[in-house]
Homo-oligomer: A and B are copies of this chain.
Amino acid sequence: MKKRLNRIRLIDIAEKTHLSVNTISKVLNGREKEAGIAVETAKRVRKMADELGYIPDQMARCLRAKNTDTIGVYIDKITDHVRAETLHAILQELSNRGLFPLIMLAEAGYEKCCEAFIRNRIEGLILCGTMQAMNADFFNRLYENKIKTVITGCFFHDRNLNNVFREVSFVNVDNERGVELQIRHLHEQGRSRIAFLSGPTHDSDMHIRKKTYMDLIKTVHEPVVGQIDKDTSYLEHGYWSMDMLLAGRQEIDAVIAFDDKVALGAIRCLHDKGRNVPGDVAVIGFDNSPEDDYTLPRLSSISLPTQEIGTKSVELLLDRLENKTKPKTIYVLPSLVARESTQPSAGKPQKGNPPD
């Protein structure tokens, strides 16, 4: 049971170079200029540090200094591809900037996550994706502990939280723009009676997309919304709300689904009822999931700029940490990915082509 770890420390370099720990510290932190250290000395120090393979002890450094170079990431299930891609981009960006991530899964409960974050003295937090268990206490604790936060892909319509968002920036997907793209695309494909299929009501994006649909569509015709109240999977939501729509009297030739899973549920329902997609009804989803390329028919969708979301959230957070800007909200633009499910008249699934 030896007490000291076998690591190289500043003092080891100091002894070898016959200098003081202090000098070594200054050089290795690039503060040689302002400390007025001889160029030759600095060189010697660096050389020795290199030779010995010195790696500073983050714990010791953090204890003394105020910064920990650690950024918390609070995230829901990472198996969702949008979140996985966003997380990947965040990790890339943090790594590029020499920062360390501390990832906590929301399912562990916010108290536990909060404690882990504070205990490890994270300097900033990125909150990644919609979460249900979000409350004022959480944000207040972050604020009290001076943890600046960026929220990405997560909308709050709970206005009670507004006053706790003093130190929170947002990277939002421009949902309005997404729905606009969907409607315009369907019009261009010759569709004139477009319905909206909603998903579970706890999803905050859902409300925005539905509202946008209603606002935009009513210049053309009465909004037609398929919605069920059951608290069930997205797929089932799609299936049964589509079923409901078909049972109604309104004629429709296109459906905007809240997301891809809802769209897939809807397509199954349409098949079961003998409707052809896209022949009778065009269907478009949202999220551009990997499976969209393999569905029958291939599913048109809206793609989110996950790379940009990740990069921008780190950027925004660092601006705040360096006090460059006030907390702010930025929007990133989604884009259209047109596939078979919205083609004008392709009754049959497209034949396979050599992959690209």
What residues make up the interface of A, taking CB atoms closer than 8 Å to B? 3, 5-7, 55-60, 62-63, 66, 68, 77-79, 81, 84-85, 87-88, 91-92, 95, 100-105, 107-108, 112, 115-116, 118-121, 144-146, 233, 235-236, 239, 264-265, 267-269, 271-272, 289-291, 293-296, 349, 351-355
Of the candidates B5, B101, B145, B294, the one whose C-beta lies within 8 Å of that of A296 is: B294
Of the candidates B85, B145, B265, B349, the one whose C-beta lies within 8 Å of that of A355 is: B265
Smallest CB–CB gap between A77 and chain B, Å? 6
Taking CB atoms, residues of chain B closer than 8 Å to A62 are: 59
Of the candidates B66, B88, B116, the one whose C-beta lies within 8 Å of that of A77 is: B88
Smallest CB–CB gap between A145 and chain B, Å? 8
Whether the pair B58, A352 counts as a contact (CB closer than 8 A) is: no
Smallest CB–CB gap between A288 and chain B, Å? 13
> Known: A63-B59, A264-B294. Is A102-B104 also a contact (CB below 8 A)?
no
Taking CB atoms, residues of chain B closer than 8 Å to A108 are: 92, 95
Taking CB atoms, residues of chain B closer than 8 Å to A239 are: 354-355
Smallest CB–CB gap between A146 and chain B, Å? 8
Query: Which interface residue of A6, A57, A146 has the most chain B CB atoms within 10 A?
Result: A57
Of the candidates B81, B105, B267, B354, the one whose C-beta lies within 8 Å of that of A92 is: B105
Taking CB atoms, residues of chain B closer than 8 Å to A85 are: 79
Smallest CB–CB gap between A239 and chain B, Å? 5
Whether the pair B352, A271 counts as a contact (CB closer than 8 A) is: yes
Of the candidates B59, B63, B102, B233, the one whose C-beta lies within 8 Å of that of A102 is: B102
The answer for the CA separation of A81 and B295 in the assembled complex, in Å, is 18
Closest to A297 in B: B296
Of the candidates B5, B56, B115, the one whose C-beta lies within 8 Å of that of A119 is: B56
The answer for the CA separation of A118 and B54 in the assembled complex, in Å, is 10
> Known: A121-B57, A272-B354, A354-B272. Is A88-B95 also a contact (CB below 8 A)?
no
Smallest CB–CB gap between A75 and chain B, Å? 9
Whether the pair B81, A79 counts as a contact (CB closer than 8 A) is: yes
Smallest CB–CB gap between A131 and chain B, Å? 15
The answer for the CA separation of A102 and B291 in the assembled complex, in Å, is 30
The answer for the CA separation of A115 and B50 in the assembled complex, in Å, is 13
Taking CB atoms, residues of chain B closer than 8 Å to A95 are: 104-105, 108, 112, 116
Smallest CB–CB gap between A247 and chain B, Å? 14
Of the candidates B116, B268, B353, the one whose C-beta lies within 8 Å of that of A353 is: B268
